[in-house]
Amino acid sequence: MEPTSTRRDMPARLLRLLSLLQTRRQWPGAELAQRLGTSRRTLRRDVERLRELDYAVDATTGTDGGYRLARGGRGMPPLLLDDEETVAAALALATAAGSTPGIAEGATRALVKLEALLPARLRPQLAALGRAAAALPHRGAVPVDPARLALLAGCCRDGEALAFDYRDRRGSTRRRRVEPYHLVTAQGRWYLIAYDPDRADWRTFRADRIADALPTRRRFTPRPLPAEGPAEFLARSLAEADYDHTAHLHVDLPADQVRSRLFHPVPGTVTPHGQHRCRVRLSAHAPELVVQYVAAVASLGARVEVDASPEVTEGLAALAQRLAR
C-alpha cells in the first residue's frame, strides 16, 4: 500500500502532473518523478489514475521511458496559472472577444468561466482591465476556425510536419506538406509561417484558406528562420508579394522620410535610390487600393513619377479629374 502521506497528497499531485504534461511534448519518467518529488512507482500509479479519469496519457519507449499527454480523452485538462499568467489570459480573451471574428463567442465564454474562478485578490485587476481596455476590430478581419488555429499551433510547438489543402488567392486548391514554424496575426488575418520542402523555401499561408489539415506524425528539427523573428518575416513576405496590380514610383524624398510620414505601411517596398530619392513598389489585388496608396505618397508634396498597370493609370487620371473640379 501507498503511505498515508502519499495518498493524502494525491489530488494536488495529480493536478501538478497534468500541469507538467502540458508544458512539454514528452517527459522522461525519471525527471517527471523528480519534479513531483515522488517515486517512479507512485508516478506510474498516478498516470493510471489519470487514465481512469479519461485523460489520454501515452507511455513512450526508450532508454529511460516517459509519458506524454496525447490528443483525445475528455478534453482540456485543468490549468495551473500564476497571478501574472491569469491576468495575461484574461486580457488576451477580452481582446479576442472584442476584435477577432470566428473566435469572439468562444473567447467570451472562456472569459466568463475564468472570471468565475478568480481568487479575490485578482478581481480588482480584472475589473480594471474590463473598464480600461478595448480592442478596435480590423475592418478586413477574416473569421477563422479556433480548432484549426489550435491544430496549427500544436504542430508548430511539437515540430510535427503538417499536410493540408490550400486555396490560393485565385481560387486554386492544392495539397501542401510543410514544416510549420509559427502563427502570426496581422491586419485582421492569421498567417502560418512554414518551410515547404517540396519548394525548398519558406512560405506564408493564410489560416482561413487552409482546409483538411492533418498532422503527419513526422517530427522535424526547425530550420533557422531567415529573419529576426516571425513578425518581421511576415511583414517582409507581404511587402514583397506580387498581386494583380502593381505600380512603381520614383519619389524625390529619402526612403526613411516616406516611411515615417505615411499614415500606414504601404503594401509593398520602399528602397533608397540615391541620397535624396527612393523607389516605392505598390502591389494589391484591386487597382483601387494601389490608386489610394499612390495618392498617399503623392500627398507628401514631393515630385513623383509613376509607372503602373493600365487600370491603375486610369484610376489615377480619374482621381486627378475629380480633384481638379
pLDDT of residue 250: 96
Q: Which of 286, 280, 178, 181 is nearest to 239 (CA)?
A: 280
If you average pLDDT over residues 203-218, what whole number do you get?
93
pLDDT value of position 59: 86
- Give the separation between CA 266 and CA 269, rounded to whole angstroms: 7
Q: Torsion angle, CA of 285/287/288/289, rounded to 10 degrees?
A: 50
Largest CA distance in the chain: 94
Per the structure block, which three cell numbers stand in for 249? 514610383
Residue 69 has pLDDT above 90, yes or no: no
Residues 93 and 133 sit within 8 Å (Cβ to Cβ) = no
Each residue of 90-100: pLDDT tens digit?
A: 777 776 655 66
Q: Compute CA 243 distance to the chain's CA centroid, rounded to the nearest angstrom.
A: 23
How much is the pLDDT for 105? Answer: 67
Confidence at residue 281, expressed as pLDDT on a 0 to 100 scale: 94
**Alpha-carbon separation of residue 166 from 138, 142, 195 (angstroms):** 24, 16, 14
Give tens-digit pLDDT for 128-183.
666 666 666 666 677 777 778 888 888 898 899 999 999 988 889 999 999 999 99
Q: Specify the pLDDT at position 100.
A: 63
Helices vs. strands in the chain: H and E counts, helices first: 12, 12
Rounded to whole angstroms, the Cα distance separating 213 from 88 reads 29
Question: pLDDT per residue over 16-68, tens digit each?
Answer: 888 788 777 788 888 988 998 889 889 989 989 888 887 888 887 766 678 88
> Per-residue pLDDT tens for 228-271?
899 889 988 888 888 889 999 999 999 999 999 988 778 889 99
Phi and psi torsions of 67, nearest 5°: -140, 155
Sign of the C-alpha dihedral computed for residues 38, 42, 48 and 52 taken in this order: negative
- For residue 252, the SS3 value is coil
Q: Pairing between strand 66-69 and 27-28? A: antiparallel
- Residue 88: what pLDDT? 78
Distance separating alpha carbons of residues 22 and 73, to the nearest angstrom? 14
The pLDDT tens digits for 82-138 are 777 777 777 777 766 556 666 666 776 777 677 766 777 777 776 666 666 666 666
Is residue 284 scored above 90 in pLDDT? no
Residue type, position 204, single letter:
T
- Please give the span between the terminal C-alpha atoms of the chain, in angstroms, as a whole number: 94
Position 181 scores a pLDDT of 95
Q: Report how far apart, in Å, the C-alpha atoms of 40 and of each of 9, 11, 32, 35 are.
A: 16, 17, 9, 11
Determine which helix (DSSP H) or strand (DSSP E) holds 236, and give its type and residue range.
helix 230-240
Gap between the Cα atoms of 92 and 223, Å rounded? 29
For residue 197 the three cell numbers come to: 520542402
Task: Round to whole Å and give the CA distance between 126 and 135.
Answer: 16
5 has a pLDDT exceeding 70:
no
Query: Alpha-carbon distance 25 to 23, whole Å?
Result: 7
Contact partners, residue 299, CB within 8 Å, separation at least 6:
none
The whole-number pLDDT of residue 129 equals 63
| pLDDT tier for residue 75 given thresholds of 50, 70 and 90 | low
pLDDT at 79 over 70: no
Taken in order of first residue, the domains within the chain and their CATH numbers are 4-69 (1.10.10.10), 83-132 (no CATH), 146-231 (2.30.30), 242-324 (3.30.70.920)
Distance CA 193, CA 191 (A): 6
User: Positive or negative CA dihedral for 140, 143, 146, 147?
Assistant: negative
Enumerate residues 6+ apart whose C-beta is below 8 A from 197. 177, 178, 179
Given a cut of 50, is residue 288 above it in pLDDT? yes
Residue 1, pLDDT > 50, answer no
Mean pLDDT computed over 289-318? 93
Query: How does residue 280 score in pLDDT terms, banded at 50, 70 and 90?
Result: very high
Q: What is the mean pLDDT of residues 202-218?
A: 93
Q: Is the pLDDT of residue 307 over 50?
A: yes
